[in-house]
């Protein structure tokens, strides 16, 4: 079973994402569940990912932002790439067509086996981050463990204001403001220097 988690602050976009999952997963609906929850307290993406992961029942977790639109067979292709990893488990980076491409790109959206959790302090996104660089850390750590693969064929369209040159999204302005960005960048650099041990 795969648990697809969607932390939500844009409900219409989340519904669009869910409809695309049902249309484009490429596997039977009995093989996955969708857990979408509105972030009423604005606790942020890393904490919401932990909360929804804790609530999930699947052996694997697929994280999608509420502003993504999964493309045909995205889950089928991700599972095929997962099977290429040693013993068939780890982290699959989903291709969201933003900025950097391929193996060098941090996996903002992903499919992960829960066997990773004990190796990652029991959280996929470190909850010390506000919003940025949690995906960089997850990708780096899974690469270090030899448990990362980027999926060229598993694709989602990421309807991201920064990349689509829109500036009217207040939630993006809030989480990507300079103070939050700098906080997360400094935390990422500090944790990386210290082998991911700092809070």
Domain ranges of the chain: 2-193
For the stretch 125-128, contacts whose Cβ atoms lie closer than 8 Å and that sit 24 or more positions apart, written own/partner, are 125/45, 125/46, 125/49, 125/50, 126/46, 126/191, 126/196, 127/46, 127/47, 127/50, 128/46, 128/187, 128/191, 128/199
At residue 100, the pLDDT reads 47
Rounded distance between C-alpha atoms, residue 36 and residue 8, angstroms: 7
Q: Which helix (H) or strand (E) holds 52?
A: helix 45-55
pLDDT digits (tens, 9 = 90+) for 128-187: 999 899 999 999 999 999 999 999 999 999 886 655 455 566 666 666 688 889 999 999
pLDDT digits (tens, 9 = 90+) for 86-145: 999 999 999 987 544 545 677 899 999 999 999 999 999 999 999 899 999 999 999 999
The closest of 49, 70, 60, 50 to 6, measured between CA atoms, is 49
pLDDT digits (tens, 9 = 90+) for 46-62: 999 999 999 999 999 99
Domain 2-193 CATH superfamily? Spore Coat Polysaccharide Biosynthesis Protein SpsA; Chain A (3.90.550.10)
At residue 170, the pLDDT reads 67
């Amino acid at each position: 079973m795969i648990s697809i988690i969607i932390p939500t602050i844009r409900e219409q976009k989340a519904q669009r994402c869910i409809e695309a999952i049902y249309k484009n997963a490429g596997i039977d609906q009995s093989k996955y569940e969708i857990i979408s929850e509105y972030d009423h307290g604005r606790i942020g993406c890393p904490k919401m990912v932990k909360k929804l992961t804790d609530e999930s029942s699947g052996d694997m977790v697929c994280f999608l932002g509420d502003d993504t639109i999964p493309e045909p067979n995205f889950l089928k292709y991700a599972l095929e790439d997962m099977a290429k990893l040693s013993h068939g488990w780890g982290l699959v980076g989903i291709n969201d067509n933003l900025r950097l491409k391929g193996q060098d790109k941090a996996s903002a959206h992903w499919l992960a086996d829960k066997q990773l959790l004990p190796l990652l302090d029991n959280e996929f996104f470190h909850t010390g981050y506000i919003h940025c660089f949690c995906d960089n850390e997850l990708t780096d750590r899974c690469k270090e463990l030899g448990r990362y693969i980027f999926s060229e064929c598993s694709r989602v369209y990421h309807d991201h204001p920064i990349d689509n040159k829109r500036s009217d999204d207040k939630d993006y302005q809030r989480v990507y403001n300079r103070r939050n960005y700098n906080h997360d960048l400094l935390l990422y650099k500090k944790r990386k220097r210290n082998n991911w041990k700092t809070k």
